[in-house]
Chain A
Amino acid sequence: MDFPILSSLILLPSIGALFLLFSKDQSSNTGKYVALFTSYVNFLISIYLWFLFDPNSSNFQFVEDREWLKGFINYKVGIDGISILFIILTTFVTPLCIISVNNTIKNRLRDFLIAILVMESFMLGVFCSLDLVIFYLFFEAGLIPMFLIIGIWGGARRVYSAFKFFLYTLLGSVLMLVAIISIYWITGTTDVIKLYEIGIDYKYQNLLWLAFFSSFAVKTPMWPVHTWLPDAHVEAPTAGSVLLAAILLKMAGYGFIRFSLGLFPLASETFTPLVYILSLIAIIYTSLVALMQEDMKKLIAYSSVAHMGFVTLGIFTITQQGIEGSIIQMLSHGFVAAALFFCVGVVYDRMHSRLIATYGGLVSVMPKYAILLMVFTLAAIGLPGTTGFIGEFLILIGAFKDNFLVAVIASLGVILGAAYMLWLYRRVVFGELVNNNLLKIKDLDNSEKFILWSLAIPILFFGFYPELLNNTIEISVNDLIENYNFNLNMYTPEVK
């Protein structure tokens, strides 16, 4: 077997965390450098992985298969064109979170860094796993560090939010666990590749699909199980919000593509109308709610729900454009939402207020901040030339192929999206500087500039040249759709 590059990728952050665990100093900078070093090494490894990755093969690559519980569960990891991008997103965003702790985390810095690094391990595990049980373990384990991040370093109502977050996500996941066990009893394996080959009997698919759906819908989050997200975001510290928005939510979208479509094509076909309706509600409803928010973080949280609504919509169009669009939209949202939460963090650190009304006229005192926030606002609106456009456009074009009405309604969300983002920008950045406390506010410092520019560059670069992304995912998505249609055709007569 070759060098286990994926396992190293997954384990490395945890090893870094282990080092930190043995350091006594709670708040020294050394801890931060260790964490930063580990996560950047991980980033480089993942880029190297992308470089090694062969986009012309539809097989899973870098597969490692080790016996874990003999005869039952194997530790099996491997990636295809879809997972590689999420891995890079994870290793890209994590170091930025670590850099941001400078200004945000005042106490128990070491523990915070450990939580983030452990979190990174789990998230990478999710995107690599090729065994349902392994997937489940990583998927659920990710809850714990996030629960701690919100519960320990959060704002005033942190305990309520942490529990709400935990309760929601756990309830959904219990059903998924039951489903995974049932799959084992039905087919005798939890190996994803094998399951793709043998398929799951159509009479079980609907129930199993619903069980997986309940878990993914909460994590996405889809309407009406979205109310944990605004609370969790508002209370989480900046780095927590960023990880939550940029990566945790993507695990659900990834799950939909990998498992719901891959394992239960017939059920996916049956439930497509349900997903469409919930996605459309998410897009329109949460956009309208976002319009009325007075708290910046809540506004962005609600906009996340709307953006993820586009993602779920695109996935279930089962078209090349729709699914590719969803993946790009997830990456884009990973960059944009991360950036927006960082931006809120920047002013929150200075003024200790997230209320929009506190601000106004920032452009006079923070011109650099104003420029970057404008870039991210435009990307959130989905202006051509940013990744947001590529994602939304491909999703809508895919949806249009499938159902006119759905595409028309979803397109309305694009208008609303522009409304709430521009209005937010206007109230925070433009206008006369009224609040005198803002007069002495400082513009971005170097680490903030580094974070925000690192996010702005890929947003613009992939906005103009998404070919690099499309090229990576094309074969895998194509293969997924072919597999899906093959299954559909094979079973259709029987179902009828």
Chain B
Amino acid sequence: MEIVLLFLPLLASIISGFFGKLIGDRFCEIITSLFVALSALISLFLFYEVIVNQYENNVVIATWINSGNLDVNWSIKIDPLSSVMLIVVTFISALVHIYSIGYMSHDPHKPRFMAYLSLFTFAMLTLVTSDNFLQLFFGWEGVGLCSYFLIGFWFKKDTANAAAIKAFLVNRVGDFGFALGIFLIFYLFGTVNYSEVFQQTPQIINKELLFLGLNFKAIDLVCILLFIGAMGKSAQIFLHTWLPDAMEGPTPVSALIHAATMVTAGVFLVVRCSPIFEYSQLSLNIITIIGSATAFFAATIALVQTDIKKIIAYSTCSQLGYMFFAAGVGAYNVAMFHLFTHAFFKALLFLGSGSVIHSFKDEQDINQMGAVYRKLPYTWILMIIGTLALTGFPFLSGFYSKDAIIEFAYLRGNSVGYYAAWIGVITAFLTSIYSWRLIFKTFHGSFNNKQMQIENIHESPMVMVIPLIILSIGAIFAGYLFKDLFITHGEDSYFWAESIKFLKPLSTDHPPLWFILTTPTLVLISIPLAYYLFVKNKDLSEALVESNRPLYNFLINKWYFDELYNFIFIKSSKKIGLFFWKIIDLKIIDRFGPDGVASLFKDLSIKASKFQSGFIYQYAFMILIGFSALLTYLILY
């Protein structure tokens, strides 16, 4: 059954990718959606088995690499952690497949698109079901590759191509750390299988390594390297620059890959490796700081962006930051919980924004929208549900998961925890502001589009709306329904079993009441505030921009990361490359090497040939000199 679950999407991808022309667009759409939906049903069944019967399984499919003591298998590991990921991946994927039938209806390359989506699903499944680091890396690169294909799906657009390469390369930088982490794990443990590595971890916690003349604790180094990989995939600060650009891809892709599944792989990695991370307080602190920094910084940028998808992309970045700092303060299960709920409401928001973009004929600027809530009633209501869930409006799913993260950070009790908790509160407020800004500017106020008449705006077809409705159900109820399962730490009915390790059990206290109430209060306040700023009194928001120009420029230019990286890495690599080629290769090596040697011999032989002048007296003279030299030598020695 696990094998069927894993290979259905691959099969769908192959059918659609290679025989797409033969079987027709419609058939491709149906077969890929159907196969992925079947996978979703199987994962639902497995999830049920895991909850009820504590089902665990590890299916070995084949040997992959076997070299010396390195022994790696292709395998499918089912445990509580992977079963949760399976649900998220296959469900969102199935819904996105169905949605794409509507969204891509005018595109000439439908089979290719569906094939990529299914292939992505397959790669993501290999990632989450791996029982070793290497297959994880395979899935990791596989999803990165599919993301590259899908971002650059519209291959004629230069911006799309640039974004695709950027995504791949920035991820490669993360993978560089990840790969080194795997090497180090193999070096330390002699294996890359989770179970053996995790089992041996306690034995190496005091081991130190010398690198570049500095002593590191081996375990810290492993964790930090793995986390660098996670930062790349999950777009954390410093390695986040690819995610906003990735919005060049079709919107369903953004929903599936760049919101719900692939970008959460980094969080999954950290949670999966909790048996290692638990022993490295240093790296946990780094994760907390990076996570909360990302949460805050991405939210500030989202405040001023005008591209509807980029706002949501930065919001994703910010929410991933939450998940990381949850993991960083040791609340891995809460991180997974937020990952789970976030998948629903963020996919909902993305697909909703796709529906808006579709109606506006590919317009993405929220300044070109407005006043269309009557025209797009379903989309409007569903987007509001998504926004409420995202901002943590009481009793929707984001409320349970996000507030739990902030509370656990607070309960951690150390300075890093308090820092993260307060950043979490502030970011929750910012999140609420930018989310409502998006809703108000898109659906309310006045109609600002000059290219279109408001009469020509129509609601999207049902094939797009129905997946949204399903997601909105998840966005409303997922938090309430699953909070006990995911967070509660009961003795006998503990859901996560062995898949997440806690050195010391999570605190069961509660923070003070005033702290618990702070976030929801801010969230509630922000709605009228945003309404006032972005609908009622727009002059005020513009005046704010005017009076804080430098800050605004800083935010609208995304903290100048792109410019900085362009200057430091891209331009300098090109310059160095040119220098190596034109100066060292051509001017030095060739000139003093083969060309130099060749011309040297040529010169010498020209000179030598001058001796053969053909005049007897010259030869006689040479003989005389030679003879006298020889004679002198013999006499003297």
Contacts of B62 in A (CB 8 A): 465
Is A412 close to B, CB under 8 A? yes
Inter-subunit contact B581/A292 (CB<8 Å): yes
Contacts of A432 in B (CB 8 A): 156, 158
Partner of B594, one of A167, A285, A415: A167
Inter-subunit contact B577/A289 (CB<8 Å): yes
Contacts of A385 in B (CB 8 A): 138, 141-142
Inter-subunit contact B67/A227 (CB<8 Å): no
Inter-subunit contact B180/A321 (CB<8 Å): no
A433-458 toward B: CB 8 Å interface, digit per residue (1/0)? 00000000000000000000000000
Q: Interface size bucket, A side?
A: 35 or more
In the docked arrangement, what's the CA distance between A467 and B593, Å?
43
Is B217 close to A, CB under 8 A? no
Contacts of A364 in B (CB 8 A): 156
Inter-subunit contact A164/B594 (CB<8 Å): yes
In the docked arrangement, what's the CA distance between A347 and B590, Å?
30
In the docked arrangement, what's the CA distance between A430 and B173, Å?
24
Is B576 close to A, CB under 8 A? yes
Is A300 close to B, CB under 8 A? no
A134-146 toward B: CB 8 Å interface, digit per residue (1/0)? 0000000000000
Contacts of A426 in B (CB 8 A): 152, 161, 164-165
Q: Chain A's nearest CB lies how many Å from the CB of B518?
A: 43
Q: Chain B's nearest CB lies how many Å from the CB of A469?
A: 10
Q: Chain B's nearest CB lies how many Å from the CB of A443?
A: 14
- Flag the segment in B183-191, B298-306, B378-386 that touches A: B183-191
Contacts of B138 in A (CB 8 A): 384-385
Inter-subunit contact B169/A390 (CB<8 Å): no
Inter-subunit contact B66/A470 (CB<8 Å): yes
Contacts of B69 in A (CB 8 A): 320
Inter-subunit contact B176/A415 (CB<8 Å): yes
Total interface residues in chain B, CB < 8 Å = 56
Contacts of B152 in A (CB 8 A): 426, 430
Inter-subunit contact A414/B156 (CB<8 Å): no
Inter-subunit contact A397/B70 (CB<8 Å): yes
Inter-subunit contact A383/B180 (CB<8 Å): no
In the docked arrangement, what's the CA distance between A422 and B576, Å?
19
Contacts of B551 in A (CB 8 A): none
Inter-subunit contact A408/B180 (CB<8 Å): yes
Q: Among the interface residues B62, B156, B176, B581, which one has the most CB atoms of the partner chain A within 10 A?
A: B581
B261-282 toward A: CB 8 Å interface, digit per residue (1/0)? 0000000000000000000000
Q: When A396-B183, A414-B176, A422-B169 are in contact, do A405 and B212 touch as well, CB less than 8 Å?
A: yes
Contacts of B577 in A (CB 8 A): 288-292
Inter-subunit contact B183/A397 (CB<8 Å): yes
Is A419 close to B, CB under 8 A? yes
The residues in B between 478 and 515 inclusive whose CB is less than 8 angstroms from any CB of A are none
Residue of A nearest to B70 (CB): A321
In the docked arrangement, what's the CA distance between A385 and B156, Å?
28
Inter-subunit contact A378/B145 (CB<8 Å): yes
Contacts of B585 in A (CB 8 A): 227, 289
The residues in A between 392 and 408 inclusive whose CB is less than 8 angstroms from any CB of B are 393-394, 396-397, 400-401, 404-405, 407-408
Inter-subunit contact A291/B66 (CB<8 Å): no
Inter-subunit contact B141/A411 (CB<8 Å): no
In the docked arrangement, what's the CA distance between A320 and B574, Å?
37
In the docked arrangement, what's the CA distance between A378 and B186, Å?
25
Inter-subunit contact B168/A431 (CB<8 Å): no
Residue of B nearest to A407 (CB): B183
In the docked arrangement, what's the CA distance between A325 and B66, Å?
11
In the docked arrangement, what's the CA distance between A384 and B72, Å?
13
Is B550 close to A, CB under 8 A? no
Is A43 close to B, CB under 8 A? no
Inter-subunit contact A396/B179 (CB<8 Å): yes
Partner of B173, one of A321, A394, A404, A415: A415
Q: Among the interface residues B141, B168, B183, which one has the most CB atoms of the partner chain A within 10 A?
A: B183
Is A324 close to B, CB under 8 A? yes
Contacts of A418 in B (CB 8 A): 168-169, 172
Is B60 close to A, CB under 8 A? no
Inter-subunit contact B70/A415 (CB<8 Å): no
Partner of B169, one of A228, A319, A419, A471: A419
Q: Chain A's nearest CB lies how many Å from the CB of B13?
A: 13
Q: Chain A's nearest CB lies how many Å from the CB of B224?
A: 13
Inter-subunit contact B141/A384 (CB<8 Å): yes
Is A423 close to B, CB under 8 A? yes
Inter-subunit contact A400/B161 (CB<8 Å): no
B51-91 toward A: CB 8 Å interface, digit per residue (1/0)? 00000000000111111111000100000000000000000
A158-180 toward B: CB 8 Å interface, digit per residue (1/0)? 00000110011000000000000
Is A334 close to B, CB under 8 A? no
Q: Chain A's nearest CB lies how many Å from the CB of B241?
A: 15
Is B27 close to A, CB under 8 A? no
Inter-subunit contact A412/B66 (CB<8 Å): no
Inter-subunit contact A288/B576 (CB<8 Å): yes
The residues in B between 579 and 628 inclusive whose CB is less than 8 angstroms from any CB of A are 580-581, 584-586, 589-590, 593-594, 597-598
In the docked arrangement, what's the CA distance between A471 and B64, Å?
12
Q: Among the interface residues B65, B137, B585, which one has the most CB atoms of the partner chain A within 10 A?
A: B65
Residue of B nearest to A363 (CB): B155
Inter-subunit contact A324/B67 (CB<8 Å): yes
Partner of B589, one of A224, A320, A396, A430: A224
The residues in B between 185 and 216 inclusive whose CB is less than 8 angstroms from any CB of A are 186-187, 209, 211-212
Inter-subunit contact A168/B64 (CB<8 Å): no
Residue of A nearest to B585 (CB): A227
Partner of A400, one of B164, B187, B589: B187
Is B544 close to A, CB under 8 A? no
Inter-subunit contact B573/A291 (CB<8 Å): yes
Is A225 close to B, CB under 8 A? yes
In the docked arrangement, what's the CA distance between A397 and B72, Å?
13
Is A474 close to B, CB under 8 A? yes
Q: When A291-B573, A408-B180, A411-B180 are in contact, do A361 and B165 touch as well, CB less than 8 Å?
A: no
Inter-subunit contact B580/A285 (CB<8 Å): yes
Is B578 close to A, CB under 8 A? yes
In the docked arrangement, what's the CA distance between A381 and B65, Å?
19
Inter-subunit contact A361/B590 (CB<8 Å): no
Contacts of A199 in B (CB 8 A): none
Inter-subunit contact A407/B597 (CB<8 Å): no
Q: Chain B's nearest CB lies how many Å from the CB of A381?
A: 9
Inter-subunit contact B145/A407 (CB<8 Å): no
Q: Chain A's nearest CB lies how many Å from the CB of B112?
A: 9
In the docked arrangement, what's the CA distance between A325 and B183, Å?
14
Inter-subunit contact B165/A422 (CB<8 Å): yes
In the docked arrangement, what's the CA distance between A292 and B594, Å?
23
Q: When A225-B593, A291-B577, A411-B176 are in contact, do A466 and B183 touch as well, CB less than 8 Å?
A: no
Q: When A415-B173, A426-B165 are in contact, do A470 and B65 touch as well, CB less than 8 Å?
A: yes
Partner of B156, one of A319, A361, A404, A466: A361
Inter-subunit contact A412/B176 (CB<8 Å): yes
Residue of B nearest to A385 (CB): B138
Contacts of B137 in A (CB 8 A): 384
A251-282 toward B: CB 8 Å interface, digit per residue (1/0)? 00000000000000000000000000000000
Inter-subunit contact B180/A430 (CB<8 Å): no
In the docked arrangement, what's the CA distance between A320 and B584, Å?
36
In the docked arrangement, what's the CA distance between A361 and B138, Å?
30
Contacts of B211 in A (CB 8 A): 404-405
Q: What are 30 A-B contacts defined by CB distance under 8 Å?
A: A164-B594, A167-B597, A224-B589, A224-B593, A227-B594, A290-B577, A292-B581, A293-B581, A361-B156, A363-B155, A383-B141, A384-B138, A384-B141, A389-B141, A397-B70, A397-B183, A397-B186, A404-B209, A405-B212, A411-B180, A412-B176, A414-B172, A416-B573, A422-B168, A426-B164, A426-B165, A466-B64, A467-B63, A467-B66, A470-B65
What 14 additional pairs, Cβ within 8 angstroms, besides A228-B594, A321-B68? A167-B598, A289-B580, A289-B581, A291-B574, A321-B67, A321-B70, A390-B65, A397-B182, A405-B212, A408-B180, A426-B164, A430-B156, A430-B161, A470-B67
Closest 5 CB pairs of A and B: A320-B68, A288-B577, A400-B183, A384-B138, A292-B577
